[in-house]
């Protein structure tokens, strides 16, 4: 083997050399490891102190070391192949410094860091203005079998927005990571090029802002339709989360279509998320759905136990919580619905055990999770809350819904309200009738039947009811 040349280069390695060296190692490992291991553990490594026969592999947490030990021989082999020499490697924990935005406010030490501190501050303003939450990053998104494709596409987009995957349509059930990934795209793009005009919004805000803009066009308020248009049509990257909210609302849908077209035509990146695939939007005009198909569509599936465990363990390590593997594994086994509930259960276990001044043991965990399942049932919803959302969704006034008018645009929301009140509360039909303008219980029953029948026959009704239910 001809090693002398390589030795010289690697000796006294400068930053660039390490980078280059590590890139080659990653190239090998990416093909040899399963994607979860690669993305979650190997990518957390920062190599340091590279010499011709040794390198330190630093990672942010002790837990990474434990995981990486499993792949030690594979990693070593890749390093030796690239370095063309026998190597010694060690994994070292090194806390990431300066990643705490809160610290930036203390401007006591204004040494050479001053510039970059100011820079960072501006960036966090940009993040906020874009509608993003800095908490959602690729770094703290754990990849597994269920979200692998979505994760890969999201990363590719964040590297080259508007280029390869456009539009990106991401769908899944609730709590599985759509918002996290979408926001991670925005955060990453802003991190790479802070001047990019990233706009994150939800289908619901899009709808509300449009309504506000239209209303103020009639003489009230200050937000004009023009400003609305500018905000969205001047975006370089438009991220709309939970797009299902705008479906079936003619004017919102049309505005969305025009926004979409304007951006798409000028090669701007569009990312949309939803609780269902585009083909299920039977109500959405063909010309819109066919556009989705010209980009890429991916879903996130339910997480398997491995992923659930990895998420909780990472969370524990980041927060330095004192929770045993046994407890984590139990929660991960037990809560299989979605990641939001998984995180919720973990938090509940933590807070309850903290209140009792002990670290969580299995008995405590079992009793909490058992109770949780029971209390998770419906929270007490009031008829008023339901009526409010129904009115907001159909853009009608509650006095009209309670009143005598029998025009279709009032009757439908009235019946949907009856149906949802019955479904979501324990109120007897009589009280529902009373609440809705003093109607008797047979009228309420009739309304509920009507909606029930339509739910089977008409997709429009089904989508409307789904949407309102979600708003509630």
CA 111 to chain centre: 37
Q: In the complex with ligand ADP, which residue's Cβ is closer, 140 or 333?
A: 140
User: Cα separation of 119 and 58, whole Å?
Assistant: 27
Residue 339 touching ligand ADP (CB under 6 A): yes
Closest CB to ligand ADP: residue number: 177
* Structural tokens at position 34: 């399963």
* Structural tokens at position 100: 């705490």
Angle (nearest 5°) at CA 128 between 127 and 129: 95
Residue 179 touching Mg ion (CB under 5 A): yes
Return the residue of 47, 83, 167, 177 that touches ligand ADP, per CB under 6 A: 177
Contacts with ligand ADP by CB under 6 A: the residue count is 16
Stretch that binds ligand ADP, among 138-146, 203-211, 283-291, 440-448 (CB under 6 A): 138-146
- Pick one of ligand ADP, Mg ion, none as the site partner of residue 409 (Cβ within 5 to 8 A by kind): none
DSSP label at 221?
A: S
Least Cβ distance, residue 308 to ligand ADP (angstroms): 9
Residue 213 touching ligand ADP (CB under 6 A): no
Number of Cβ within a 10 Å radius of residue 54: 15
CA 4 to chain centre: 49
DSSP label at 33?
A: S
User: Cα separation of 12 and 18, whole Å?
Assistant: 10
Q: Give the contacts of 57 (CB within 8 A, at least 6 positions apart).
A: 45, 46, 47, 48, 68, 75, 89, 90, 91, 92
Q: In the complex with ligand ADP, which residue's Cβ is closer, 140 or 382?
A: 140
Q: In the complex with ligand ADP, which residue's Cβ is closer, 323 or 448?
A: 323
Residue 43 touching ligand ADP (CB under 6 A): no
Residue 465 touching ligand ADP (CB under 6 A): no
- Pick one of Mg ion, ligand ADP, none as the site partner of residue 186 (Cβ within 5 to 8 A by kind): none
User: Cα separation of 182 and 273, whole Å?
Assistant: 8
CB 229 within 8 A of CB 201: no
Helices (H), 50-134: 62-69, 72-83, 114-129
Residue 353 touching ligand ADP (CB under 6 A): no
- Pick one of ligand ADP, Mg ion, none as the site partner of residue 413 (Cβ within 5 to 8 A by kind): none
Q: In the complex with Mg ion, which residue's Cβ is closer, 178 or 316?
A: 178
Least Cβ distance, residue 239 to ligand ADP (angstroms): 12
Q: In the complex with Mg ion, which residue's Cβ is closer, 178 or 249?
A: 178
Find, among 265, 263, 205, 210, the residue nearest to 237 by Cα: 263
DSSP output for 181-209: HHHHHHHHHHHH-TTS-EEEEEHHHHHHH
- Pick one of Mg ion, ligand ADP, none as the site partner of residue 343 (Cβ within 5 to 8 A by kind): ligand ADP
Q: In the complex with Mg ion, which residue's Cβ is closer, 170 or 410?
A: 170
Report the site for ligand ADP in 429-458 (rule: CB under 6 A).
none
CB 309 within 8 A of CB 329: yes
Least Cβ distance, residue 242 to Mg ion (angstroms): 6
283-322 footprint of ligand ADP as x/- string (CB under 6 A): ----------------------------x-----------
Q: In the complex with ligand ADP, which residue's Cβ is closer, 185 or 190?
A: 185
- Pick one of ligand ADP, Mg ion, none as the site partner of residue 158 (Cβ within 5 to 8 A by kind): none
Least Cβ distance, residue 154 to ligand ADP (angstroms): 11
Adjacent-strand bridge partners of 93: 59
Residue 178 touching ligand ADP (CB under 6 A): yes
Q: How many residues does the chain have?
A: 472
Phi and psi (nearest 5°) for 164?
-105, -40
Phi and psi (nearest 5°) for 77?
-60, -45
Q: In the complex with Mg ion, which residue's Cβ is closer, 180 or 308?
A: 180
Strands of the sheet containing 198-202, edge to edge, are 198-202, 237-241, 269-274, 168-171, 296-299
Strands 269-274 and 237-241, sheet pairing: parallel
- Pick one of ligand ADP, Mg ion, none as the site partner of residue 176 (Cβ within 5 to 8 A by kind): ligand ADP
Q: In the complex with ligand ADP, which residue's Cβ is closer, 185 or 383?
A: 185
Q: In the complex with ligand ADP, which residue's Cβ is closer, 177 or 295?
A: 177
Q: In the complex with Mg ion, which residue's Cβ is closer, 44 or 179?
A: 179
First to last CA, the chain: 69
Return the residue of 36, 39, 172, 443 that touches ligand ADP, per CB under 6 A: 172
Residue 176 touching ligand ADP (CB under 6 A): yes
- Pick one of Mg ion, ligand ADP, none as the site partner of residue 148 (Cβ within 5 to 8 A by kind): none
User: Cα separation of 323 and 361, whole Å?
Assistant: 8
Binding residues for ligand ADP (CB under 6 A): 140-142, 147, 172, 174-180, 311, 339-340, 343
Binding residues for Mg ion (CB under 5 A): 178-179
């Amino acid at each position: 083997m001809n090693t002398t040349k390589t030795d010289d280069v690697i000796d006294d390695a400068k930053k660039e050399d390490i980078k280059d060296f590590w890139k080659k190692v990653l190239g090998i490992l990416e093909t040899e490891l399963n994607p979860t291991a690669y993305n979650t553990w190997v990518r957390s490594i920062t190599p340091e102190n590279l010499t011709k026969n040794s390198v330190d592999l630093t990672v942010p947490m002790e837990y990474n070391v434990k995981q990486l030990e499993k792949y030690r021989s594979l990693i070593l082999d890749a390093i030796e192949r690239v370095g063309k020499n026998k190597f010694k490697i060690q994994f070292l924990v090194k806390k990431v410094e300066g990643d705490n935005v809160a610290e930036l406010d203390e401007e006591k030490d204004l040494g050479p860091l001053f510039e970059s501190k100011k820079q960072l501050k501006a960036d966090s303003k940009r993040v906020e203005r874009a509608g993003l939450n800095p908490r959602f990053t690729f770094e703290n998104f754990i990849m597994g079998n269920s979200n692998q494709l979505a994760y890969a596409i999201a990363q590719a987009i964040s590297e080259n927005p508007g280029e390869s995957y456009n539009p990106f349509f991401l769908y899944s059930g609730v709590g599985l990571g759509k918002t996290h990934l979408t926001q991670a795209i925005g955060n990453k793009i802003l991190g790479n090029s802070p001047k990019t005009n990233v706009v994150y919004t939800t289908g619901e805000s899009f709808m509300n802002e449009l309504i506000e803009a239209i209303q103020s066009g009639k003489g009230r308020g200050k937000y004009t339709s023009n400003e609305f248009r500018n905000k969205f049509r001047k975006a370089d990257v438009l991220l709309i989360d939970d797009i299902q909210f705008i479906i079936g609302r003619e004017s919102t849908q049309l505005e969305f279509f025009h926004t979409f077209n304007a951006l798409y035509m000028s090669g701007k990146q569009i990312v949309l998320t939803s609780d269902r695939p585009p083909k299920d939007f039977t109500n959405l005009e063909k010309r819109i759905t066919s556009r989705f198909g010209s980009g890429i569509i991916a879903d996130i599936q339910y997480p398997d136990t491995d992923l659930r465990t990895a998420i909780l363990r990472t969370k524990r390590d980041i927060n330095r919580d004192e929770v045993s593997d046994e407890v984590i594994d139990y929660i991960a086994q037990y809560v299989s619905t979605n990641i939001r509930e998984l995180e919720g259960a973990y938090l509940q276990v933590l807070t309850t055990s903290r209140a009792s001044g002990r670290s969580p043991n299995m008995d405590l965990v079992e009793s909490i999770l058992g109770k949780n399942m029971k209390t998770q049932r419906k929270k007490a919803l009031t008829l008023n809350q339901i009526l409010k959302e129904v009115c907001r969704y159909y853009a009608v006034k509650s006095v009209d819904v309670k009143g005598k008018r029998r025009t279709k645009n009032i009757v439908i929301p009235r019946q949907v309200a009856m149906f949802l009140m019955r479904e979501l509360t324990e109120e007897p039909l009589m009280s529902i009738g009373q609440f809705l303008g003093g109607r008797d219980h047979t009228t309420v029953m009739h309304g509920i039947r009507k909606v029930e029948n339509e739910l089977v026959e008409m997709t429009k009704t089904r989508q409307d009811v789904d949407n309102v239910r979600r708003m509630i």
